Amino acid sequence: MVVSIDDQMAYVYRNGVQIARSTVSTGRAGKETPTGVFQILQRKVDHESNVYKGAKMPYMQRLTWTGIAMHAGQLPGYPASGGCIRLPYEFSQKVYGVLSNGSTVAITKKGTVPSYSAKPANVLMASKAKSSSNQAVPDMQGRVIWEPGKSRSGPYSVLLSYADRTAYVWRNGIKIGQSPFAIASGTRPPEGVFIKLENGDGPRSWSVLSLKKSRVSGSPAEQIANSIQFPAEFTRKTRGILSPGTILLATAEASNASTMSKRDFGIIQPDKQ
């Protein structure tokens, strides 16, 4: 599921195919809904807010332990909630029926007109020998790790951290692999949430949403494929894991022990009244 704060819309995808969409109402000024990629933590058909005593939240699907969830509610046509994502009642029922604990919800500030790769774009590309001065060569001080036995089923998700020059692969929330990658000099690969739409690396294989206010432009998947390269070992081991519905998050932020949040970390705190 993808929620766009800018255009106040939600989109539901199955195997990369859009199967539903609806208007929503996200957080108002000062209580904005956080952006990012979340997993549904808890679900309840008849839920009452622990913060807003007596407030009914039918078909609640929790995204954080600090008060952010999707649920049925009033939609005035603009951001009006305390941080939650309000859905029309009938739509909340239908969405509740197709999602489950662990389902991915991407929340973005950008309008949802998708950006597609203009030509085949293999995002997890192996390094190739070139005679160019800006050739990207992975620093193999960071070794390739691939342990698929830690999680044998479920959807994959991939994080590309440009700060770490490292790709991390999760399956059902369990990290099963990582690899160094190189960024070609003079290039600045784009950030965003990449949703795999179809098998292979065809011209419409990726839809891209920005995590920032500015819209993505050009062909971001192609830009990544042309800017970063991986060791051949990693490409060989991960061949075939990018299937319809896979989410890849590319960010300039680091992902290591110093940037990991604690269990009681609050992204946003709703009013306590």
**Band of residue 217 on the pLDDT scale cut at 50, 70, 90:** low
Q: Which of 91-105, 178-192, 247-261 has the lowest mean pLDDT?
A: 247-261
- 260 or 142, higher pLDDT: 142
Q: Could you say which architecture CATH assigns to the domain 2-108?
A: Beta Barrel (2.40)
Residues 6+ apart with CB under 8 A from 135: 184
CB 127 within 8 A of CB 136: yes
114 burial class (0-12, 13-18, 19+ CB within 10 angstroms)?
Answer: middle
pLDDT band at 177 (very low <50, low <70, confident <90, very high): very high
Q: CATH for 115-259?
A: 2.40.440
With bands split at pLDDT 50, 70 and 90, how would you rate the model's confidence at 195? confident
User: CATH topology of 2-108 equal to that of 115-259?
Assistant: yes
The stretch 232-260 carries a mean pLDDT of: 79
Mean pLDDT of the chain: 78
Tell me what the mean pLDDT of segment 144-150 comes to. Answer: 92
Q: How far is CA 173 from CA 107, 111, 169, 170, 213, in A?
A: 18, 28, 9, 6, 28
The pLDDT of residue 233 is above 50: yes
Angle 94-246-253 (CA atoms, 0-180°, nearest 5)? 110
Q: 145-175 burial by CB neighbour count: b if 16+ within 10 A, else e?
A: eeeeeebeeebbbbbbbbebbbbbbbbeeee
DSSP per-residue letters across 128-179: -----TT-----TTS--EE-GGG--SS-EEEEEETTTTEEEEEETTEEEEEE
DSSP calls for the chain? -EEETTTTEEEEEETTEEEEEEE-B-B-TTSPPPPEEEE--EEESS-B-SSSTT-B-TTEEES-TTS-EEEE----SS--BSSSEEE-HHHHHHHHHH--TT-EEEEESS----EE-SS---SSPBP-----TT-----TTS--EE-GGG--SS-EEEEEETTTTEEEEEETTEEEEEEE-EE-TT--PPPEEEEE-SSSS-TTSEEEE-SSSSPP-S-HHHHHHHHEEB-HHHHHHHTT---TT-EEEEESS--SGGGPPPTT--S------
Q: Where are the domains of the chain?
A: 2-108, 115-259
Instruction: Note the pTM of the prediction, 2 decimals.
Output: 0.57
Residues 6+ apart with CB under 8 A from 129: none
Query: Ranked by mean pLDDT, which of 5-14, 19-28, 172-181 comes out on top?
Result: 19-28
pLDDT > 70 in the chain, percent: 72
How far is C-alpha 233 from the chain's CA centre? 25
Name the nearest CA neighbour of 210 among 195, 226, 230.
Answer: 195
